[in-house]
Structures are given as C-alpha cells and as structure tokens.
Amino acid sequence: MTDGPIKRSITIAGHRTSLSLEEEFWTALKTIAAANNKSTTQLIATIDEARGDRNLSSAVRVFVLRAR
C-alpha cells in the first residue's frame, strides 16, 4: 500500500475531474460499487450529486466511512 493519496481522473456529469484518495478508500469504493452493481464511476457520480458544498474527495471518504 502507498503512503499518500492516489490521483485518478474520471468523467462525471459530462466533465473530467480528478480525485485523490488513499488506496484503502479506492479499494472500499470498488467493493461498495460492486455490491451495488455499479461501476466505481457511477458510484462516484451518485456521491457527487449528493455532496452539497463538501469537496468530492471528502464526500467520498465520508460516504465510505458511513457505508461500513
């Protein structure tokens, strides 16, 4: 496992963005997406729609923690 965040580029809501998360969050996100028959990008798009004023990386981390 890496020490710092891993940056990945994704397309959500028709635009490219990058998301920096620690490897553990990426792994958990993939697991949650698979359990919900969604791609990781689809799940991130769902999180993005509901995140309010929170930045996307923080919204994903909070989502993962609440899903556990």
At residue 11's C-alpha, the angle toward residues 14 and 60, to 5°, is 115
Per-residue pLDDT tens for 9-59?
Answer: 999 989 999 999 999 999 999 999 999 999 999 999 999 999 999 999 999
Q: Is the pLDDT of residue 3 over 80?
A: no
d(CA 49, CA 47): 5
Residue where the block lists tokens 């919204």? 59
Q: Is the pLDDT of residue 1 over 70?
A: no
pLDDT of residue 2: 62
Selected residue with higher pLDDT from 26 and 3: 26
Q: What are phi and psi of 6, to 5 degrees?
A: -105, 125
Per-residue pLDDT tens for 34-46?
Answer: 999 999 999 999 9
Tokens standing for residue 7: 């940056």
